[in-house]
Structure 1
């Protein structure tokens, strides 16, 4: 009896993974859209399609960006999306993608908008709202910007812009299209005064993550590219961007 019990325990132990994934994202429409307990968005749909193809049923958790990034930077088997791939971040993660291409820009209230001709012009005379610890804030700091007002959410930045507490905020061409309505603004109330960088977003695995899992996700992503699923998801959520690429 003891032998059978031991054998059964050994079989169960062998069938149980030695790790569990944590899949982390943030509330950042239209990449990730949180409405109550429902989660959607272009990046969410891409990740769920990968999960379906590899047989993964891990729940996707939503965190403030700084916390999600810290987890992925320090803990194995954490999947973080959607994440900008930068030279500074390159050695910190294993990258799957790219899943999206976006543009970074400075945005102002239309009533106060003044076009900028360069990054240098934005270094003085204005206060710029940034999102704490995100790639855009990190980039501007690396370029010598000292006139940054960091916030824990982009919604707070929009409220600050609307109230005149900041002059510009940093956002993306896709993100700015959906956020203002939640703050009582109409489409067109905020305008881009300068686009300063184009980047690609990825799914990032923390260092020390299970290699077989990472490889399975990479293979599933490659399949989605080859069979047209990735392009179809992008076009469904971002029709204007998809049209611009044709």
Structure 2
């Protein structure tokens, strides 16, 4: 009898052990993927003295081509947009330090910047033009030799000039300014011989003072503008690209361009 009870107890113990093993081997349900965080606000870093891309009007309100594009994109994303003026020479530090979410202000796409910033597809094409006063004897890039040339510090114009090493080496001085408005004032006052600047900016200013400036035929190359975000901010980049693509397709980008440039120059 004891033997039968012992056998029975051993069988029960084995069954319990097997049940325990089966329980441990049951597949744990996969955790549900976290829902995407709703985009509620986009902080746009910009140089607020860069017309017609972004600048302050007579009422000290921020206006401009890129301002209008960014507002339209944010509206499509259902997000509030805040424009934050920054030191444009420190724009990458401002972005990667998370003090702004986006750089959207005539930002040229370069290989050097792509190492630190993720860009949308280009939305505008631009050249680095040379502006002189109407009475200047400078007619081409060769005429810049032994002259004082102005440029905005931290702008892509600096890189464009450096790529043309022979011409850059011929300058008497490359003088850097915090903004293009001050540089143009120095050009008019004779403290500069020429200014190298983004075409969209240069054309805007020269059109306001017809007969005072001349844009030379030669330039320092063509470039493309894009919107910059942090390299790990893939979700924001994808959303912005989708919004920009839709704006191009439905004519909104063309309408904004025509308001600022008199024609559709969106790429």
Cα deviations by residue, 1:176-227 (Å, 9 ceiling, x for unpaired): 233368xxx8223111123232222111112233x22221111111111221
- 2:41–2:80: 8 Å Cα contact kept in structure 1? no
1:125 corresponds to which of 126, 146, 154: 146
Q: What is the alpha-carbon distance in structure 2 between the residues aligned to residue 17 and residue 232 of structure 1?
A: 29
| Alignment correspondent of 2:50 | 28
Deviation readout 1:51-83 (Å, 9 max, x if unpaired): 000011031112232133431255486200120
After TM superposition, the structure 1 stretch with the greater mean CA deviation from structure 2, 124-133 or 84-93, is 84-93
Given that 2:161 and 2:220 are in contact with CA atoms closer than 8 Å, whether structure 1 keeps it comes out as no
| Equivalent position of 2:18 in the other structure | none
Structure 2: which 5+ residue stretches go unaligned? 1-34
Native 8 Å contact 1:77 1:205 kept in 2:
no
Shift of 1:157: 0.8
Structure 2 residue 175 is matched with structure 1 residue 149: yes
- Using the alignment, how far apart are the partners of 1:37 and 1:166 within structure 2? 28
Deviates more, 1:93-102 or 1:217-226: 93-102
| Superposition map of 1:4-23 within 5 A | 21-23=42-44
Largest Rg, 1 or 2: 2
1:133-212 mapped onto 2 (5 Å cutoff): 133-144=154-165, 145-146=168-169, 147-179=173-205, 186-193=209-216, 194-209=218-233, 211-212=234-235
- How far the C-alpha of 1:96 sits from its partner, in A, is 1.8
The TM-score with structure 2 as length reference comes to 0.74
Structure 1 alignment gaps of length 5 or more:
1-13
Report the Cα distance in structure 2 between the residues aligned to 1:102 and 1:83, rounded to whole angstroms.
Answer: 10
Alignment CA distance shift 1:24-1:106 (3 Å):
same
Q: In the alignment, is the contact (CA less than 8 A) between 2:160 and 2:220 conserved in 1?
A: no
The 1-side partners of 2:230 and 2:74 are apart by: 17
CA-to-aligned-CA distance 1:73-108 (integer Å, 9 cap, x gap): 554862001200112222221112423222211110
- d(CA) in 2 for partners of 1:90 and 1:148? 25
Question: Does 1 or 2 have the higher relative contact order (CA < 8 Å, sep 6+)?
Answer: 1
Instruction: Look up the match of 2:3.
Output: none
Instruction: State the aligned residue count.
Output: 223
Instruction: Give the equivalent residue in structure 2 for 1:223.
Output: 246
Is the 2:108–2:156 Cα contact (8 Å) retained in structure 1? Answer: yes
